[in-house]
Amino acid sequence: MESSSASVGKAPGRNRLSREGSPYLLQHQDNPVDWFPWGEEAFETARRENKPILLSVGYAACHWCHVMAHESFEDEAIAGLMNRLFVNVKVDREERPDVDAVYQNALALLGEHGGWPLTMFLTPEGAPFWGGTYFPPTQRYGRPGFPQVLEGLAAAWRDAPDDVAKNVEALRQGLQRLASPEAGGPLTPEAPIEVAKRLLRELDPFEGGLGGAPKFPQPAILKLFWQAWLRSGEAPFRHAVDLSLSKMSQGGIYDHLGGGYARYATDEKWLVPHFEKMLYDNAQILDLLTWAYAESGNRLYADRARETVGWLLREMLAEETPGGAACGAFAASLDADSEGVEGKFYVWDEAEIDAVLGDEAAFFKAHYDVSPAGNWEGRTILNRSDRPEPLDEAGEARLAEARTRLLAARAQRVRPGWDDKVLADWNGLTIAALAQAAPVFREPAWLEAAAGAFDFVATRMAVPGSETSRLHHAWRHGASRHAGLLDDYAQMANAALALHQATGEQRYREQAEAWMATLDRHFWDAANGGYFLTADDSRDLLLRPKTALDNATPAGNGTAAAVLARLHHLTGNDDYRTRAEQLVAAFSGEIQRAPFGYPTLLLAADLLRDPVQVVVAGADEAAGGRELVETALRHPLPHLLVQRTGDGADLPPRHPAHGKDAIDGDAAAFLCQGARCSLPITEPRGLAAALAGARA
């Protein structure tokens, strides 16, 4: 029997999720489960009926979320059990990463590995007392069947309230500890390299990446390796990045027809992807491809960068209305599944390749691992792992033509699900990556796309009437939802500074400063330092999470520290330096205790301590100014700042290039580190050489 509130506010034949905007929640609107979205209605119902809450968290591209939905949430008997025993709440973790963060931490405290779907059991006040991830409908995989779990937890709630209360209190204390990270003193200048050396021991020396299967790209760690190489000159750091990038880029984790990288590989050789493609992964990998190409000129990196951006601009621009015009910002993800089968859209039979390519099939198959038996479950995941070396120009042209034909044939298949919501933080990552890549690859259209996405988030996702630059977190089909989080402000501020550097436009820097002021006003922990994930006027969480741990995306606190560092160097305002130092100190005890999870914060501390600054005097009006700026931008470093000035008078008074001017009508570049600047450089070639020697 369903709960007494089961029919309230529901569309005929649908549950409450039919009123939501999230593609993930809408996937569950026809379940027989009486789902509630996260909110007071669910908690009030649980209190009134004295029922525990079953919280299920997932996202639209999640394969195992789909599996559990088909096996359990679409099953009438299991749904009936859920409705009778619990108040059931469904959350899109991409719309509410703050909710997900709290209960993933609770699951970790229970000694379980996190992930999705997340299945947690809560009191009517939202306090967790038990949980897990995926549960099968019957006992298998060494896991109890979901009905057994439901009946056992309901019995514990009913018959053992003291045991439940003990669990609640233990988890409450643990969550409070996790939200109060250990502070410490300043980090040493050597800390980033020391941590990178320890992480380097985890490198797979043959296939790249860290550890074994499943293997994730982990771009934040690869970025730390790259910076450690720039600072130390020690070749193993650069080798780790080159090896990982090249193996991923020739492996099956990369979509060789359509562009873009999957979220992770299920094997250690990057062959078998978990086929979902996420915006945030591709933005961060684009950063690495840009750095590596600018240093090496490796054609592989250029090809993968152009193909990945091509995919972003072709398939990932969100729409104003379903099937309507592109809005200018980027959608969240593509599903792993199509027609209910993981990877079906992406894999091939040999006969299909033969039918599409005809006489060219044998040549293509030899280079993309196509065989009658296939390389995965009887089918083929296209890859060049065994033949990674490029062919001559004519050979590569033949392969490119074959890929074009196969891509056209693939377009006739049923496409994977598309989560077309716009997330402010993931767009910030993508905008910054495009703004950095555009000058390196000489692609001005990429910069235009970055500016368009930025303007969309800054205007269409702004809170109406907000005088403090408040943002929403998510947007879809004309509607913004959910209060902006730390990561939204930090990543969009970072994107603003990337656009400021690429264009010289002052409005971007001003917007970055406004968003950081919002973080200071509403997110700063005045007692202990650091920014909370949620604002001070958020009221629907058990507690306010605070962390600098990187996950699949860079930690908001790490990115915020980097933004503060850049703003200090750009403006000379010591308040930004002080705030950045306070932020790093708020987590430095954690870094010293368990350093591996904080690469973004370590990079921010390095940037704060010792940037490389290129100042171009006479950039706009003097001869050669544009060429000098473009030269600087085509040599990207994680710790590089590029500024344009008329005569140096508009630089901060304590800036080492303050007052430096053009030379006899010719623009001049000054390369500055610490309190010293180079002699004026008027030739692009000279600036390039100076930048090559200014890494450390």
Tens of pLDDT, residues 121-152: 999 999 999 999 999 999 987 789 999 999 99
Residue 101: partners with Cβ closer than 8 Å, 6 or more residues away? 533, 545, 547
Using an 8 Å Cβ cutoff, are 317 and 329 in contact? yes
Which range in 199-213, 613-627, 637-651 is most confidently predicted, on average pLDDT? 199-213
Which tokens is 180 given?
Answer: 């109060």
Q: CA 382, CA 385: separation in Å to the nearest integer?
A: 9
Using an 8 Å Cβ cutoff, are 469 and 515 in contact? yes
pLDDT of residue 695: 72
pLDDT of residue 147: 97
223 three-state secondary structure = helix
pLDDT band at residue 326, thresholds of 50, 70 and 90? very high
Domains of the chain, each with CATH number or no CATH: 16-178 (3.40.30.10), 191-337+418-609 (1.50.10.10), 346-410 (no CATH), 612-692 (3.40.30)
Instruction: Please choose, from the candidates 53, 156, 12, the residue with its C-alpha nearest in 3D space to the C-alpha of residue 45.
Output: 53
- pLDDT above 80 for 648: no
Q: Pick 595 or 383 by higher pLDDT.
A: 383
pLDDT band at residue 6, thresholds of 50, 70 and 90? very low
- pLDDT above 90 for 266: yes
In the predicted model, what is the mean pLDDT of the chain? 94
Which residue's structure tokens are 């690429």? 502
Q: What is the pLDDT of residues 189-226, one digit of tens each?
A: 999 999 999 999 999 999 999 999 999 999 999 999 99
Q: What is the pLDDT of residues 39-76, one digit of tens each?
A: 999 999 999 999 999 999 999 999 999 999 999 999 99
Q: CA 309, CA 433: separation in Å to the nearest integer?
A: 10
Which tokens is 483 given?
Answer: 């209060």
Q: CA 399, CA 410: separation in Å to the nearest integer?
A: 16
Q: Partners of 203 in the beta sheet?
A: 210
Q: CA 195, CA 225: separation in Å to the nearest integer?
A: 9
Task: Give me the helices (H) in 533-624, please.
Answer: 556-571, 574-593, 599-609
pLDDT of residue 671: 96
pLDDT of residue 661: 82
Residue 354: partners with Cβ closer than 8 Å, 6 or more residues away? 361
Count CB atoms within 10 A of the CB of residue 551.
Answer: 14
Which residue's structure tokens are 């006489």? 359
Q: What is the pLDDT of residues 277-302, one digit of tens each?
A: 999 999 999 999 999 999 999 999 99
292 three-state secondary structure = helix
Instruction: Please choose, from the candidates 220, 223, 199, 298, the residue with its C-alpha nearest in 3D space to the C-alpha of residue 638.
Output: 223
- Tell me whether strands 668-673 and 676-677 are parallel, antiparallel or unpaired: antiparallel
DSSP 324-390: S-EEEEEEEEE-SEETTEETTTT-B-HHHHHHHHGGGHHHHHHHTT--TT-SBTTBB----TTS-S-
Taking each helix axis from N to C end, the angle separating 486-503 and 444-460, rounded to the nearest 10 degrees, works out to 140
Task: Out of 141-150, 409-418, 544-553, pick the least confident.
Answer: 141-150
Using alpha carbons only, give the angle 334, 54, 419 rounded to the nearest 5 degrees. 10
Q: What is the pLDDT of residues 521-537, one digit of tens each?
A: 999 999 999 999 999 99
DSSP 618-675: TTTTSBTHHHHHHHHHTS--TTEEEEEESSSTTS-TTSTTTT---BTTB-EEEEEETT
Average pLDDT score over residue span 305-316 = 98
Average pLDDT score over residue span 386-400 = 95
Calculate Rg over the CA atoms of the chain: 26
Average pLDDT score over residue span 647-653 = 85
- % residues pLDDT > 90 (the chain): 89
Using an 8 Å Cβ cutoff, are 663 and 680 in contact? yes
Looking at residue 71, the DSSP 8-state letter turns out to be: I
Q: CA 53, CA 119: separation in Å to the nearest integer?
A: 10
pLDDT band at residue 620, thresholds of 50, 70 and 90? confident
Looking at residue 475, the DSSP 8-state letter turns out to be: E
Q: What is the pLDDT of residues 175-193, one digit of tens each?
A: 999 999 999 988 999 999 9
- pLDDT above 90 for 693: no
Using an 8 Å Cβ cutoff, are 327 and 452 in contact? no
Which residue's structure tokens are 């699900």? 417
pLDDT of residue 9: 38
Q: Partners of 121 in the beta sheet?
A: 54, 130
Which tokens is 621 given?
Answer: 């009006």
- Tell me whether strands 35-37 and 87-92 are parallel, antiparallel or unpaired: parallel
Using an 8 Å Cβ cutoff, are 107 and 116 in contact? no
Half-sphere exposure at residue 611, Cβ-oriented, CA atoms within 13 angstroms: 25
Using an 8 Å Cβ cutoff, are 633 and 688 in contact? no
- pLDDT above 50 for 630: yes
Instruction: Please choose, from the candidates 684, 674, 677, the residue with its C-alpha nearest in 3D space to the C-alpha of residue 658.
Output: 677
Instruction: Please choose, from the candidates 494, 528, 674, 511, the residue with its C-alpha nearest in 3D space to the C-alpha of residue 600.
Output: 494
Average pLDDT score over residue span 227-234 = 96
- pLDDT above 80 for 435: yes
Report how far Cα 552 is from the mean position of its chain's Cα atoms. 6
- pLDDT above 90 for 85: yes
Q: CA 90, CA 37: separation in Å to the nearest integer?
A: 5
Instruction: Please choose, from the candidates 582, 681, 588, 668, the residue with its C-alpha nearest in 3D space to the C-alpha of residue 625.
Output: 668
Q: How many residues does the chain have?
A: 696
Which residue's structure tokens are 């509403």? 522
Q: What is the pLDDT of residues 456-508, one digit of tens each?
A: 999 999 998 766 689 999 999 999 999 999 999 999 999 999 999 999 999 99
Q: What is the pLDDT of residues 563-603, one digit of tens each?
A: 999 999 999 999 999 999 999 999 999 998 888 899 999 99
Return the percent helix, strand and coil in the chain, to nearest 5: 50, 15, 40
Using an 8 Å Cβ cutoff, are 531 and 486 in contact? yes
pLDDT band at residue 3, thresholds of 50, 70 and 90? very low
